[in-house]
């Protein structure tokens, strides 16, 4: 909880600075794009470069450390676009918070994976072992679906993309599945009580973990969790927004993704 408060506080400071420095007086010629701090920031930097070179578009990147504030900042008009989320997460946010946001393009699938410093294969899991997963609704569901895919649990039929722990109908190893804040998950790998941590790609990469090389089980390319470029409904057809989407969906950005994620980012457009 302490980390969550810290992340929300830091994001709130960013938004406050946007309001004090920009607001109604900021240039309409500059597109403000919200992105996650960490490896994905490098991709956005390359997209910014491509946008300038190919479309003469000035882009300002605004960094966030959590999954909540980028959509709130977009909704409030403090940024024009964000690039950090999947469609299931966006749908959940719009339903729960009343946002009027729109998908303007796909980026990459960043496979979620199970990591461990205790075991090398899932066959080594023992009865009662602890598995930690993200606690935000979308990634919690995503993690449970992945754990089901590799045969560790069974979820109720027709559960959709947002299952919860109560949807587990079979858990033969009686695994202790614990929800934690996503940024905390990589650190749990050093906890003697944690056998496996199911971690989002961006938080894994920030700790030098790659799904392809380090995951003991990994999402495949058929994952519905492709990351997306999101605008508001009222600016989804703006030329600057569409130009940025094209800049992001470029060979230059794909090359950076392949380098940064060491082959772990799957092109989604």
Q: How many residues does the chain have?
A: 269
CA separation for the pair 12, 113 (Å, rounded)? 30
pLDDT-based confidence at residue 26 (cuts at 50, 70, 90): low
The residue to which tokens 């950090």 are assigned: 84
pLDDT recorded at residue 232 = 98
CA separation for the pair 248, 198 (Å, rounded)? 28
Poorest-pLDDT segment among 3-17, 28-42, 46-60, 105-119: 3-17
CA separation for the pair 265, 269 (Å, rounded)? 12
- Mean pLDDT calculated for residue range 20-29: 54
pLDDT value at 224 more than 90: no
Poorest-pLDDT segment among 15-29, 135-149, 202-216, 221-235: 15-29
> For the domain bounded by 113-218, which CATH number is listed?
3.40.190.10
- Same fold? 31-110+225-267, 113-218: yes
pLDDT-based confidence at residue 16 (cuts at 50, 70, 90): very low
pLDDT value at 20 more than 60: no
pLDDT recorded at residue 97 = 96
pLDDT value at 1 more than 50: no
Question: What count of other Cβ atoms lies within 10 Å of the Cβ of residue 172?
Answer: 10
Q: How many CA within 13 A on the CB side of residue 124? A: 11
**Would strands 113-115 and 217-218 be described as parallel, antiparallel, or unpaired?**
antiparallel
pLDDT recorded at residue 84 = 94
| CB 210, CB 202: distance < 8 Å | no
pLDDT recorded at residue 206 = 83
Poorest-pLDDT segment among 85-99, 187-201, 212-226: 212-226
Question: Where do the structural domains in the chain lie, given as residue ranges?
Answer: 31-110+225-267, 113-218
Fold of 31-110+225-267: D-Maltodextrin-Binding Protein; domain 2 (3.40.190)
pLDDT value at 184 more than 60: yes
Q: What proportion of the chain, given as a percentage, has pLDDT over 90?
A: 71
Poorest-pLDDT segment among 108-112, 188-192, 250-254: 108-112
| CB 38, CB 85: distance < 8 Å | no
pLDDT recorded at residue 7 = 43
3-state secondary structure the chain: CHHHHHHHHHHHHHHHHHHHHCHHHCCCCEEEEEEECCHHHHHHHHHHHHHHHHHCCEEEEEEECCCCHHHHHHHHCCCCEEEEEEHHHHHHHHHHHCCCEEEEEEEEECCCEEECCCCCCHHHCCCCCEEEEECCHHHHHHHHHHHHHCCCCEECCCCCCCCCHHHEEECCCCCEEEEECHHHHHHHHHCCCEEEEEECHHHHHCCCCCHHHHCCEECCCCCCCEEEEEEEHHHCCCHHHHHHHHHHCCHHHHHHHHHHCCCCCEECC
pLDDT recorded at residue 138 = 84
pLDDT digits (tens, 9 = 90+) for 137-183: 889 999 999 999 999 999 999 999 889 999 999 999 999 999 999 99
pLDDT-based confidence at residue 205 (cuts at 50, 70, 90): confident
What's the chain's average pLDDT? 89
- Mean pLDDT calculated for residue range 13-28: 48
Q: State how far the alpha carbon of 125 is from the alpha carbons of 63, 72, 128, 191, in Å.
A: 38, 40, 9, 16
pTM: 0.70
């Amino acid at each position: 909880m302490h980390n969550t408060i810290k992340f929300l506080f830091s994001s709130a400071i960013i938004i406050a600075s946007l309001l004090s420095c920009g607001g109604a007086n900021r240039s309409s010629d500059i597109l403000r794009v919200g992105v996650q701090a960490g490896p994905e920031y490098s991709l956005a930097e390359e997209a910014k470069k491509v946008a300038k070179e190919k479309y003469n578009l000035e882009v300002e990147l605004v960094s966030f450390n959590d999954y909540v504030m980028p959509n709130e900042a977009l909704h409030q008009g403090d940024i024009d676009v964000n690039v950090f989320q999947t469609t299931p997460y966006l749908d959940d946010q719009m339903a729960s918070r009343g946002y009027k946001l729109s998908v303007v393009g796909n980026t990459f699938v960043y496979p979620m994976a199970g990591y461990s410093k205790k075991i090398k294969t899932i066959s080594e899991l023992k009865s009662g072992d602890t598995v930690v997963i993200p606690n935000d609704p979308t990634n919690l569901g995503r993690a449970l679906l992945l754990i089901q895919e590799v045969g560790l649990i069974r979820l109720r039929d027709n559960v959709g993309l947002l299952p919860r722990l109560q949807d587990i109908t079979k858990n033969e190893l009686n695994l202790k599945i614990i929800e934690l804040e996503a940024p905390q998950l990589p650190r749990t790998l050093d906890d003697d009580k944690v056998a496996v941590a199911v971690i989002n790609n961006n938080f894994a990469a920030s700790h030098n973990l790659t799904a392809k090389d380090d995951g003991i089980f990994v999402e495949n390319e058929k994952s519905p969790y492709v990351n997306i470029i999101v605008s508001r409904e009222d600016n989804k057809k703006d030329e600057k927004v569409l130009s940025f989407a094209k800049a992001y969906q470029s060979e230059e950005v794909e090359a950076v993704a392949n380098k940064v994620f060491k082959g772990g980012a799957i092109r989604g457009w």
